[in-house]
Amino acid sequence: MSIPYDFTSEQWGMLRPKADGVLLPYQVDKVIIHWGGSGYASTTTAESIKRLQSWDAYHLYTKGWSNGIAYNAAIDNPGSIFRLRGLNRAGANRGDYEPDGKPENEEGFAVVWIGGAKSQPSEAAFDAMTAIINSLGNPPVIGHQEIYYHGTGGSRTACPGGDWMQYIADEEWLNAPPPPPPPDADWPQPEAWAAPSWEKAKALGAINEFTVPGDGMEKDEFFVFLDRLGILDMMAELN
């Protein structure tokens, strides 16, 4: 599974967790949507990062949760996806939805929208949520309000709000847009003297239509390039 994060934990400034590893045996079988309860949605990346840093410090130092911010990933109205605990640390999803005897800490991938009851998710936020769910293989999706609120005697929460519950009811993640079309004429192209060789390399599968002519190449990429051309096998036979 590869989640299309726009920001890693380090890039937005997540505090170093006090404990490493998983909190519990962790096998994702569903996505649980939350809201941040902050009232209004963030409208800029800078605002989103500031809120994440505040929540992280609160969860780590005030709540005493050893892995800091309680969610696995976050999205905002500008459409960015932030890695929080990621896939290697369970989120704080207490309660048992099925019930199957396993707390949601062991099963749920918690995604928090950086917004609340006084605002609405943008189309970009819906798209970001869809991208996460698709990347996880389209598991079942529930709202936080569908499980007991942190396991306390049946009390419930409005989280994640009506818009996200409608998104869940409509199974919007199954209506993801098709992959982007091939690059248009504005995409960088090789110079005329290199064009014939460039087309041969594409035909052989060594590069594709999204390869940028001026990009540099790392050593590992260089050897993959040679391998796709069959040169490494040819050299092995000569030896």
CATH number for the domain that contains residue 93: 3.40.80.10
% of the chain at pLDDT higher than 90: 30
* Residue 79 Cα distances to 23, 59, 91, 125, 135, angstroms: 29, 24, 21, 5, 16
Comparing 66-70, 74-78, 181-185, the range with the smallest average pLDDT is: 181-185
What are the beta bridge partners of residue 112? 34, 74
Domain range for 216: 192-238
How many C-beta atoms lie closer than 10 Å to residue 2's C-beta? 7
What is the model's pLDDT at position 234? 86
pLDDT of residue 100: 56
Tell me the angle at which helices 219-228 and 231-238 cross, rounded to the nearest 10 degrees: 80
Q: Which of these ranges, 20-34, 87-101, 201-215, 224-238, has the smallest mean pLDDT? A: 87-101
- Dist CA 129 CA 123 (whole Å): 10
On whether both 41 and 151 belong to a single domain, the answer is yes
110 with 154, same domain: the answer is: yes
Q: Does residue 198 share a domain with residue 165?
A: no
Average pLDDT of the chain, as a whole number: 79
User: The whole model's pTM is what?
Assistant: 0.67
Ramachandran angles phi, psi of 173, nearest 5°: -65, -15
Inter-residue contact 75 to 88 (CB < 8 Å) = no
Q: What is the pLDDT of residue 169?
A: 92
What are 34's strand-pairing partners? 112
Instruction: List pLDDT tens digits, range 117-140.
Output: 899 999 999 999 999 999 888 999
Residues 109 and 202 in one domain: no
Strand order in the sheet with 141-143: 81-83, 73-75, 108-113, 30-35, 141-143
77 in the same domain as 163: yes
